[in-house]
Structure 1
Amino acid sequence: MAVLQSGDYKKAETLFGQFTTKWSRSVYRPDALFWLGSSQYAGEKYKSAFDTQNRLIRSYPKHPRVPDAMLSVAASQAALGNLQAARNTLKKIQTQFPKTEASKEAEARLKTLR
């Protein structure tokens, strides 16, 4: 985590990727996937971030990180130029997770997404 916070996104991506592979049955794997996707996004690897966060969402649909992973998916979609898909993802967050901070953030992003 400190590596990601330091801004060394490439190293963070490597470390989180290794963790998700080596400890594939760990209870911390969903969190590692989330931070892997976050590292990829911060390093402007938007397609990889999109794929990683979707892997988290598909593999652990009830995990508490899912709403935030969906925010990351929407951000990746927007960065890749797919604004309609980003809007749809943000609306889905509001529908599936209405009383969360992610839902509030989705509402704010919908207002500014052009």
Structure 2
Amino acid sequence: MNMRPLLLATLIGGISMNACALAPVVNDPSVPPPIPQTVPQATASSKTLYELMSRIDQLQNEVRELTGKVEEQSYQNAELKKRLSTMYSDFDERMQNLESKASGSTPATSNAPAGENADDAEQPADLDAMPPSGQAPAGIAQIPSAAPAAPSESAAAASGDLEYKQAYDDLRNGRTAQSIEEFKAYLDKNPAGPLSGNAQYWLGEAYRVNQDFSSSRAALLKVLESYPDNPKVPDALLKLGYIEIDLNDKPKAGEYLNRVVNEFPNTKAARLATEKLQSISGQ
């Protein structure tokens, strides 16, 4: 039997099978290939997260800006409140002076620099220029001495008057915190000087304008205790009454105001105390 044709046929069949095995698989063109979803989903998720983070940063910036504006507004409101208090007190003082001039009355004098009224129960009035060095401020009786004071003593007296005037001017012009420190420094140097009682009173007034009622009360009480003969005593009592009204203690306020009326009649402080008593009794 001739084996050559059979071997050839077998060889051709094997080659055909291998060719079929190596041929690429042809997909049906009518069926679209599957679309991978993992990469687009990851891209969309990253974009959303970025947008959220950007929005959070924007909101945080807006919150910081609003916080700064609120703090600035609070500061401005506090400053405005202080200025309004000073302006109101100055207006009331000017009205009192006009009423005194209209009625022909002469304001009482005190041991204060020229321009400061002893019965002035509100903010300081305008100060005149201080007297030359070595002279006492207007309203202070000059006591003759056996011999002229030494130059150093005269310089010290003039320096003390100027320190008082500076503190007084700062209070009148709304520099309350600065005036507080200056009045305290003046009192430390001159605890028993001719202007010390006035300085103690204006220190209490400065604290009151600054809404520090506790310190104001302590300073005004010291006027009563340490300077009982000072012309500012009725004003100090009046302001103590005002403080208690601000603190909503009307009985205590009534005690101070009645003391002004009973102990210091026919004074401007007594008139103001009477008006305040009538106002709180009608509330």
Shorter-chain TM range is over 0.9
Partner AA of 1:62 in structure 2: D
Identify the residue that residue 3 of structure 1 maps to in structure 2. Answer: 170
| Residues in 2 aligned to 1:37 and 1:106: alpha-carbon distance in whole angstroms | 18
Deviations 1:63-91 (A, max 9, x none): 11100011111111112221110011101
| Residues in 1 aligned to 2:224 and 2:192: alpha-carbon distance in whole angstroms | 16
Deviations 1:14-55 (A, max 9, x none): 111111111112111001001100100000011111110110
Partner AA of 1:10 in structure 2: A
Aligned: 1:74 with 2:218: no
| Residues in 1 aligned to 2:192 and 2:225: alpha-carbon distance in whole angstroms | 15
Alignment match of 2:196 (pick from 17, 29, 32):
29
**TM-score, reference length from structure 2:** 0.39
Aligned: 1:43 with 2:210: yes
Alignment match of 1:98 (pick from 265, 271, 276):
265
| Residues in 1 aligned to 2:255 and 2:278: alpha-carbon distance in whole angstroms | 13
RMSD: 1.0
Identify the residue that residue 84 of structure 1 maps to in structure 2. Answer: 251
Aligned: 1:16 with 2:183: yes
Partner AA of 1:111 in structure 2: Q
Identify the residue that residue 228 of structure 2 maps to in structure 1. Answer: 61
Q: CA deviation at 1:107?
A: 0.3
| Residues in 2 aligned to 1:29 and 1:9: alpha-carbon distance in whole angstroms | 18
SS in 2 for 1:98: coil
Extract unaligned runs of 5+ from structure 1: none
| Residues in 1 aligned to 2:175 and 2:217: alpha-carbon distance in whole angstroms | 20
**TM-score, reference length from structure 1:** 0.94
Q: Which has the larger radius of gyration?
A: 2
| Residues in 1 aligned to 2:177 and 2:189: alpha-carbon distance in whole angstroms | 18
**Contact 1:47 / 1:80 at 8 angstroms: preserved in 2?**
no
**Percentage of pairs with the same residue:** 24
| Residues in 2 aligned to 1:82 and 1:18: alpha-carbon distance in whole angstroms | 32
